[in-house]
Amino acid sequence: MSAEPEIARLNACGVVPVVVIDDVEVAVPLAQALLAGGIDVIEITLRRPAAMAALETIAHKVPEILTVAGTVVTPGQVSDVKQAGAQAVVSPGFSELVDNAMRAANLPWLPGVATASDCMRAVAAGRLTCKFFPAEQAGGTATLKALSGPFPQMKFCPTGGVSLTNLGDYLALKQVICVGGSWLVPGDAVAERNWAKVTQLAKEARETVAALRG
3-state helix, strand, coil in the chain (%, to 5): 45, 15, 35
**Catalytic residue from among 43, 56, 82, 155:** 43
Q: Is 82 a catalytic residue?
A: no
Q: Between helices 96-105 and 75-84, what is the axis angle to 10°?
A: 30
Q: Is 197 a catalytic residue?
A: no
Q: Please give the order of strands across the beta sheet that includes 109-110.
A: 109-110, 88-90, 66-70, 41-45, 15-19, 179-181
Contacts of 12 (CB under 8 A, 6+ apart): none
Could you tell me which of 84, 109, 88 has the C-alpha nearest to residue 97?
109
Burial class (CB in 10 A: 0-12, 13-18, 19+), 96: exposed
Contacts of 122 (CB under 8 A, 6+ apart): 94, 111, 113, 128, 130, 154
The DSSP H or E segment spanning 42 is: strand 41-45
Contacts of 102 (CB under 8 A, 6+ apart): 78, 89, 109
**Catalytic residue from among 6, 56, 82, 131:** 131
Give catalytic residue positions: 43, 131
